[in-house]
Amino acid sequence: MTSELESIGSLALRLARLAGAEMTAALGRHLAVAYKPTAPEEHNLKDPVSEVDRAVEAALRAEIEAAFPDHHILGEEFANPPTRPGGIVWAIDPVDGTANFINGLPLFCGSIGVLRDGVPVVGALWCASSHALRAGVYHCIEGGPLMFDEEPVTKRENPEVRRKLGGFRDASHRSPARWEPRRTGSAAIECAFVAAGLMEVAQFERPNVWDIAAGVALVHATGGIALSREPEGWRQFTHFSAEATEGDLRGWRKPVVVGAPEAAEALCKALG
């Protein structure tokens, strides 16, 4: 499986770069934009989708299907038959942070995650911004280090910085002496920034699988953890399951916290 995983990781890296190239080429161009309804009877302006989202996902699907026809694909923009967590599943978000993208704010990414029996084992995120102050791809495979454009990422702690950044809206009841709240508008980017050490923790209310699949793999690659809120409380996240959604990963939605182990556990304790 290791050689296959390396092949999958290589394709994920290439696809993340493809997504980034398409987004970069679209900057400054007049884009067709629509807004998804958040309920059957409702149509508002909270969930935009651009022509680039759909074009990129279509291109990614074609590449994956050509390379691995027996793999499953779970994407944000195109409905497909129920996706089971067994086997290999590609969880792709062609443009995460679409609202930022269509407004020209450089906090958006293309997210390519791969699950094996529900476990995130490959992640590749092309990010418009990074710790290197340029666009590039954060990527990893299970058991390997976190890479940025094929170079290892080294976290550098500065003991002079006594208040770290936390990916949530309001820190007033979450140890404000410890975290300065920040929201980027992209769950995938916040996972990547946690993995790279730019943020210490991040909290997501009800993410979709494609929002965090790649990002959780990146966080795990640097020794971080993810925790999900279960009926019995916060528990360490190990895999995406679909028991509560009639076997379909598309319906998976749970509160999640990612971060360095002690910090993530402290945030979960503060959240209750």
pLDDT at 147 (0 to 100) = 99
Largest distance between two CA atoms of the chain? 52
Please write the tens of the pLDDT for every residue from 84-108: 788 999 999 999 999 999 999 999 9
pLDDT at 245 (0 to 100) = 64
Report strand pairing: 88-96 vs 33-35: unpaired
Contact 242, 252 (CB under 8 A): yes
pLDDT at 257 (0 to 100) = 97
Whole-Å CA distances, 235 to 18, 66, 217, 229, 257: 35, 37, 17, 6, 10
Question: How many percent of the chain have pLDDT more than 90?
Answer: 76
Question: What's the rounded mean pLDDT across residues 189-195?
Answer: 98
pTM of the model: 0.93
Class in CATH terms, 164-271: alpha beta
Contact 11, 19 (CB under 8 A): no
CB atoms within 10 A of CB 240: 24
User: CA-CA distance, 111 to 131, in Å (whole number)?
Assistant: 17
Hey, what are 40's tokens? 């059957």
pLDDT at 36 (0 to 100) = 79
All structural domains of the chain with their residue ranges: 2-152, 164-271
> According to the 3-state scheme, what is the secondary structure of the chain?
CHHHHHHHHHHHHHHHHHHHHHHHHHCCCCCCEEECCCECCECCCCCEEEHHHHHHHHHHHHHHHHHCCCCEEEECCCCCCCCCCCCEEEEEEEEECHHHHHHCCCCCEEEEEEEECCEEEEEEEEECCCCCCCCEEEEEECCCCCEECCEECCCCCCCCCCCEEEECCCCCCCCCCCEEECCCCCHHHHHHHHHHCCCCEEEECCCCHHHHHHHHHHHHHCCCEEEEEECCEEEECCCCCCHHHCCCHHHCCCCEEEECHHHHHHHHHHHC
Which one has a higher pLDDT value, 180 or 43? 180
Cα 184 to its chain centre, rounded Å, is: 12
pLDDT at 175 (0 to 100) = 55
Please write the tens of the pLDDT for every residue from 134-170: 999 999 999 989 999 999 999 888 889 989 999 887 6
Classify residue 56 by burial, with Cβ atoms within 10 Å: 0-12, 13-18, 19+: buried
Contact 184, 193 (CB under 8 A): yes
pLDDT at 206 (0 to 100) = 94
Please write the tens of the pLDDT for every residue from 219-258: 999 999 999 999 999 999 999 987 656 778 999 999 999 9
Mean pLDDT of the chain: 91
Topology agreement, domain 2-152 and domain 164-271: no
CATH of 2-152, one of 3.40.50.720, 1.10.1060.10, 3.40.140.10, 3.30.540.10: 3.30.540.10
User: CA-CA distance, 13 to 126, in Å (whole number)?
Assistant: 8
Please write the tens of the pLDDT for every residue from 15-60: 999 999 999 999 989 999 998 776 454 456 678 999 999 999 999 9
